[in-house]
Amino acid sequence: MARRDLVKARGELVVSTSGPMDRNPAAVYVTGLGSPTSRSTMMASLNRLARLLGASEHRNEEGQDVTALFVNWPALRFQHVQALKAKLSEEYAPASVNKYLSAIRGVLKAAWRLGQLPEEDYRRAIDVEGVSGSKLPAGRDVSDGELGALFAECSEDPGPAGPRDAAILGLLRFGLRRAEVVALDVEDWDPEASMVRVQGKGRKERLVPVNSGAGEALADWLDFRGSEPGPLFWPLRKGGKPEPRRLTTQAVYHILKSRAEDAGVKELSPHDLRRTLVGDLLDAGADVVTVSKLLGHANVQTTARYDRRPEEAKRKAAGRMVLIGGMGTQQMLPKGRPDEIRDQTQRLCRDLGAGGGYILGPAKPVMADVPTENAVAFIEAALNQ
């Protein structure tokens, strides 16, 4: 049913002209979002939805994808939204599907506020439940050794790129997002307090402490750049001459990628440094609410997703188990004092027969051809290693 509704909707919801921008619900919705990152994300989501509804790709004079402007969003009804949800669920993780549904709700709300969609139709159209479920956070943790290699690579660069890149890496290490790093202005850095004022998502400001190493890199970079007002980080022309304009988020990604390759560090992303900070702080006993505020998360549950402690607890639990097998059988025993598990061990050894067996402890395997009558003593010795 959902597929038929989506196919039927194609063609019916596509328009040949975008109309005035102040009357286009997609334009009004995206323009009203609080940050460039949010506007870019939601416009990309609406463009994807527009293509699912049958719209051909449209680009403006700057080459930007504006396909979403050519959809008759006020004609969207509950069955269409439900069909889009079903289609998206086949391709994307729950969080991504819910992002698309959020974009739909936003553009329909704009249509309602513009008087293009009756309230009853609007309420019905947005009455689609989100998708439940979760995935493990993307990316990986970055080790101390890898971080040291990255900063060492920057310190060996005698030009302005060395301190600039070290300062950027330092700010990423202290939990800033790429967009937050490039949005910094010179006046956002307070060298005496070792603090940066960060403009986060939803126009929420926060102060982030920066340690002496990153602070020294910032000072060295400003020696090259100068202290005149404007963007804190500039791109560099060939020859290392700073160009006075704001760095892009894509440039930050390429800087990290290039430094990692030169330092022999396996592939990583700027977000990996952010998630590593969360894990390190929580491992050190920091309160999750405090860490959430430091990173600018609106919801503490977002921070909790990067908590490594539950995984470490599972590893420790698995490490308390000893695998005993042989002759085609495998059994699990809780690790403990031999006299506490002697009866169970003897029973298992009888099951294994006289052909011997193997013991796999929590850290290293112990292989042996052990007669049954000596198996208990051998197990006790292995457990006490």
Dump pLDDT digits (tens) for 130-165.
Answer: 888 766 667 788 888 898 899 999 988 888 999 999
Mean pLDDT for 78-86 is 93
Helix (H, G, I), strand (E, B) or coil at 270: helix
Rg (CA), the chain: 29
Positions annotated as catalytic residues are 177, 201, 271, 274, 297, 306
* Same-domain status, 332 and 307: no
* Same-domain status, 325 and 229: no
The residue among 288 and 227 whose pLDDT is bigger is: 227
What is the reported pLDDT for 143?
Answer: 86
Say if CB 197 and CB 205 are below 8 A apart. yes
* Same-domain status, 200 and 234: yes
* Residue 190 backbone dihedrals phi, psi, to 5 degrees: -110, 95
* Residue 135 covered by a domain: no
The strand ranges marked E within the chain are: 189-190, 195-199, 205-209, 321-326, 329-334, 357-360, 365-368
* Same-domain status, 298 and 325: no
* Same-domain status, 160 and 250: yes
* Residue 55 covered by a domain: yes
Nearest Cα neighbor of 253 from 376, 147, 168 is: 168
Mean pLDDT for 370-377 is 46
Contacts of 309 (CB under 8 A, 6+ apart): 282, 283
What is the reported pLDDT for 336?
Answer: 52
pTM for the whole structure: 0.59
Contacts of 312 (CB under 8 A, 6+ apart): none
The residue assigned the tokens 């943790």 is 141
Contacts within 8 Å (CB) and 24+ apart, 264-268: 264/149, 265/142, 265/146, 265/149, 265/150, 266/146, 268/139, 268/140, 268/142, 268/146
Mean pLDDT for 104-119 is 96
What is the reported pLDDT for 342?
Answer: 52
Cα-based distances in Å from 228 to 160, 223, 249, 266: 17, 11, 22, 37
* Residue 152 covered by a domain: yes
What is the reported pLDDT for 131?
Answer: 85
* Same-domain status, 218 and 331: no
Angle, CA 30 vertex, CA 25 and CA 31 arms, to 5°: 100
The residue among 176 and 382 whose pLDDT is bigger is: 176
* Residue 273 covered by a domain: no
* Residue 287 covered by a domain: yes
Q: Which of the listed residues 205, 234, 268 is the one where a domain comes to its end?
A: 268
* Residue 298 covered by a domain: yes
Mean pLDDT for 353-362 is 38
What is the reported pLDDT for 280?
Answer: 82
* Residue 304 covered by a domain: yes
* Same-domain status, 313 and 226: no
Positive or negative, the CA dihedral 78, 79, 83, 89 is positive
Burial class (CB in 10 A: 0-12, 13-18, 19+), 183: buried
Nearest Cα neighbor of 296 from 196, 212, 217, 216 is: 196
Confidence class of residue 288 from pLDDT cuts 50, 70 and 90?
Answer: confident
* Same-domain status, 15 and 111: yes
Structural domain boundaries, residue 21: 2-125
The CATH number of the domain where 193 resides is what? 1.10.443.10
* Same-domain status, 308 and 351: no
What is the reported pLDDT for 331?
Answer: 45
Confidence class of residue 297 from pLDDT cuts 50, 70 and 90?
Answer: confident
* Same-domain status, 187 and 248: yes
Nearest Cα neighbor of 291 from 304, 272, 308 is: 304
Contacts within 8 Å (CB) and 24+ apart, 243-252: 246/182, 246/183, 247/181, 247/182, 248/182, 249/37, 249/178, 249/179, 249/182, 251/182, 252/168, 252/172, 252/178, 252/181, 252/182
Nearest Cα neighbor of 210 from 271, 167, 163, 160 is: 167
* Residue 130 covered by a domain: no
> How many independent structural domains does the chain possess?
4
Which residues make beta-bridge pairs with 197?
A: 207
What is the reported pLDDT for 18?
Answer: 73
* Same-domain status, 261 and 334: no
* Same-domain status, 171 and 59: no
Alpha-carbon distance of 152 to 159, in angstroms, equals 14
* Residues counted in the chain: 385
Mean pLDDT for 175-185 is 91
Alpha-carbon distance of 112 to 104, in angstroms, equals 12
* Residue 59 backbone dihedrals phi, psi, to 5 degrees: -130, 145
